[in-house]
Amino acid sequence: MRKQVHSSICRLFRIFLLAVSAGLLFGTAEKCFAGTDDPGGMALVGENTIRDSAGREIEVARPFSRIVSLYSAHTENLYALGAADQVVGVSRIDAAMDGDIGRWTKQKKTLSARNSPERFLAAAPDLVIVRPMLDHGYPRLMEQLGRFGVQVVSLQPGDIDEMKTYWRIIGRLTGREAAAEEMVERFEAGVSEARNISDAIGERKTAYFEAIHRRFKTFSPGSMPLFALECAGGINIAHDARPSRGTNIADFGMERIIARGEAIDVYLSQTGHMNQATKEEIRSIPGFSTIRAVREDEIYRVDEGIVARPTIRLLEGIARIGAILYPDHFTEEARKKIMRHGQANEEDPDNQGKSR
């Protein structure tokens, strides 16, 4: 009996040692490859290192040349910075994009976080760029890619200042730092152009900006859609909305929307994968007839791609909202002046020469 107890204790001790060893062996790998939120946030570190949204610090000895992007904003920014030839794979959503960028993405391998590591490795990437939602949702894939020598980077800015840092990080990862800096300058010039227009507006309009219709959610203070609204001279009726789980989405509720209904001049609704509400669906909500914007048919749907993604197309979103709120001020000519800053330097149309 005593021998059996001794034997059991020894087995338990060996299991304990194995567990500790596994933690020591694999703990570092998890820090390198699996996302764990870091309070420091993403940043440029020193002259050739970046820190991503998960706290990974990556030294960029040379630009990454075989990139897989699994988020539309990453894909748009890579294209805008002139790194098109460095991209080997995109998401299925990206492959369905329209226009010039759509013709480009359709030539790339389509990948998903649901795919096996083998499918990714078949594209021979040296960098996979995701956003935190995928980093947290598919930690095993991220770890497996890391163990095969593929660098994973998770990025998603939460406000305008972070968006500029994010562009600079993409620039450093791809060797397009000069192009990233130029994009920041062009964006700031476009914002300045819009503010010059909105500063001349006397009586301001108040708007409610819908993020998710079925849950009566709006956007968090400081988010990109509300930045676009503010730049266009609008006043956010839901200024006291509370962020949901640290995201750019905020809880507001049907009762509060209705309670402030008479003060809502314009009802904005982002449209895209997150929200596909029609004007009829918005009108049909019980009690929404008390909202002045609904009664007066001042309901407008705005593409999420120009207000909620951290790309330079946010200038288009500002111009679009400005035209909705103040068409006499944000004329077609004025909108063109704002949006022209979103275009790459005409002397370098492919933007391929803007490397460090």
Mean pLDDT of 111-131: 97
Q: Encode 292-322 in three state secondary structure.
A: HHHHCCCEEEEEHHHCCCCCCCHHHHHHHHH
CATH topology identical between 27-175 and 202-342: yes
234-271 pLDDT, tens digit per residue, is 999 999 998 887 788 999 999 999 999 999 999 999 99
Domain range list for the chain: 27-175, 202-342
pLDDT (average), residues 209-214: 95
DSSP 152-178: EEE---SSHHHHHHHHHHHHHHHT-HH
**Can you give the pLDDT at residue 18?**
29
Fold assignment, 27-175: Rossmann fold (3.40.50)
Joined tokens for residue 162: 């972070």
Mean pLDDT of 172-177: 98
The span from the CA of 128 to the CA of 89, in Å, is 9
Q: Residue 356 has what pLDDT?
A: 44
CATH superfamily to which 202-342 belongs: Nitrogenase molybdenum iron protein domain (3.40.50.1980)
Among 279, 275, 282, 330, smallest CA distance to 303 is for: 275
What is the band of 98 on the pLDDT scale with cuts at 50, 70, 90?
Answer: confident
Contact 39, 144 (CB under 8 A): no
Residue 207 CA to residue 238 CA, distance in Å, equals: 8
Task: Return the pLDDT at 345.
Answer: 57
Residues 320, 334 contacting (CB under 8 angstroms): no
- Which of 317, 304, 309 lies closest to 272 in space, CA to CA? 304
User: Considering the entire predicted model, what is its pTM?
Assistant: 0.84
- Residue 28 is predicted with a pLDDT of 30
